[in-house]
Every structure is written in C-alpha cells, then in structure tokens.
Structure 1
C-alpha cells in the first residue's frame, strides 16, 4: 500500500502587522530626512544672501565722504556702487 505524501499547500499570507510597521517607519525616516536636508539647504541659502547684503552695505558705507572739484567748479562725490570711484564731472560746452 502506498502512503500518500501530503504536500504543503502554499497559501497567500498577508503582511504581518510588524512588517507593516517597519515599512511605515522606513517611509517616515525617509520623509524626515528629506525635510531636514531641504531645511538645511534653505538655511544655507538664506545665510549666504544675508552675508552678501551685509557685505554690500559695508562696502557702501566705507567710501570716504570727500569731494572732487571739477574743472567747471562743480563738485562730485564717490559712488559706493562703483568701488567708491568719483562720479564723472559734467562736461562744459
């Protein structure tokens, strides 16, 4: 007499609660990391912009307040936006 061998029937198993929680925690970790990196980049950009504004204000305020007398008798001052060079004298016609 032959013995019948029971072959296991493969059943579809649903993901366990633990597996679902691990996937959720992984997604949460990815999301939080992305938010952190974006905030860091934005903060760096803001710092650089503020530093550039501050440098331009320092440069603008650093020009000496002297004047240059032109040939026609008028005076001109230094231009902080042009490396503190004197502005052009008016031409006499």
Structure 2
C-alpha cells in the first residue's frame, strides 16, 4: 500500500504506537496525528520546550474524562471535526 497524507489516530496505549511509528519511519507520509487520552507527555512545541511537534493543535476539554459526554458533548463532537477539517 502506497499511502500518503494519512491521518493516524491513537487512543490511550495506541498513542505510544503512534509515537513509535513516527520515531521509526518519520512523518513524510503522515498528514496528521491524533493522540486521544494520550500516554505521552505534552507534545506541543513551546518557547520553553522544543522537543515536540511544531505547529501542533492541542485541545484539552476541562473535566475529562468524568462526565465528559454529559457536560461537554458539543466540544467532544466539534474538536475532532475541526482538527480533521484543517
């Protein structure tokens, strides 16, 4: 399979597999990575932290995970769509 511009999504332990994949094979064929309920540390590049992904989108929904679907249903439904539409 000669896939290009793929979007890889990992949840919980699967986020470790995403990090390992990018470390091993690079990100040339990857358009986006989505780390959901991530095991990794904070991965967004900042002025004081350069060992991360540049230009990353970081969305944190307050109150997660307890009561998330009842109190933040709109954010839960909007955040992934906004990310994928970029």
- Report the TM range for the smaller structure's normalisation: under 0.3
- TM-score scaled to structure 1, two decimals? 0.17
Which structure is higher in strand share?
Answer: 2
Which TM-score applies when normalising by structure 2? 0.18
Which fold has the larger relative contact order, with Cα–Cα distance below 8 Å and residues 6 or more apart in sequence?
2
Q: Whose Rg is larger?
A: 1
Greater fraction of residues in helix: 1
